[in-house]
Amino acid sequence: MNHPFRSSIIIFFFFITPVFIWSGLGTKRIDLWFAEILPLLIVYFILAKSYKTFPLTNFSYLIVFTGSTLMLIGAYYSYSLVPLFETFKEIFEFNRNHYDKLIHFFQGLTVTVLTREIISRKFSMISLGWINIFALTCAAAIASIWEIIEWLFVLLVTYQGVIEPSTGFLGEQNYYWDAQSDMFFAVIGSIAAVLFLAKYHDKQIKKIIADSV
């Protein structure tokens, strides 16, 4: 049976591919670019391997596409030089470019959306309240793990003499509280997903479950 939601991933890859190529060909530091988009490659691989047996809702694919596009734009400009946020930096007299905070907001939002969908479809007996709690916890945990990975990566490349500490990777910009604020924005994104997107997402989850029967 051809599942009606499976065509969504084809559309997703059709639109994300030119953005991916643009980001890679235009970046000034291909080594940093690859490090910054590595999580996307892992996500793309999982989506490509699982879409036949576990296609996601259109809404989830849209969220992943939006987050992917934002990450590819950030990688293109090494996060700390995204033009629009450079403008915000000048207008509001910020001491850094805050584009990376938008990415972490979407990180928390995306993890929450995907976690809610997987649990809702795999464990239908669990109440929505517990699903939301678990999704929020999962988003916070992944945000924390990601910051640890960033820290270990920076230590590694610093000792290897590849980049200067806390300047070149993911727009840290020598901000002392970068890791903590990144996790904070991920949690805010997670809460936003539950408060403002869950109701619509649940409708699509019910539809995809019904179509799978």
Q: Token pair of 103, please?
A: 């990415």
Given a contact cutoff of 8 angstroms between Cβ atoms, the answer to whether 131 and 202 are in contact is no
Name the more confident of 145 and 170: 145
Q: What percent of the chain has pLDDT over 90?
A: 70
Range with the largest mean pLDDT of 7-16, 50-59, 135-144: 135-144
User: 0.85 cut: is pTM over it?
Assistant: yes
Instruction: Identify the band that residue 78 occupies on the pLDDT scale cut at 50, 70 and 90.
Output: confident
Quote the pLDDT of residue 154. 74
d(CA 69, CA 58): 16
Q: Token pair of 91, please?
A: 């207008």
Quote the pLDDT of residue 139. 98
Instruction: Identify the band that residue 168 occupies on the pLDDT scale cut at 50, 70 and 90.
Output: low
Instruction: Identify the band that residue 1 occupies on the pLDDT scale cut at 50, 70 and 90.
Output: very low
pLDDT digits (tens, 9 = 90+) for 79-114: 889 999 999 999 999 989 999 999 999 999 999 999
d(CA 123, CA 70): 31
Report the largest interatomic distance among the alpha carbons of the chain, rounded to a whole angstrom.
Answer: 57
The mean pLDDT of 33-51, rounded to a whole number, is: 93
Per-residue pLDDT at 42 exceeds 70: yes
The Cα angle at residue 201 between residues 196 and 202, in degrees rounded to 5: 110
CA 208 to chain centre: 23
The ranges assigned to domains in the chain are 7-212
Quote the pLDDT of residue 109. 98
Report the chain's mean pLDDT, rounded to a whole number: 89
One-letter amino acid of 150: E
Name the more confident of 124 and 143: 143
Per-residue pLDDT at 164 exceeds 60: no
pLDDT digits (tens, 9 = 90+) for 177-202: 888 999 999 999 999 999 999 999 99
pLDDT digits (tens, 9 = 90+) for 4-36: 667 889 999 999 999 999 999 998 888 889 988
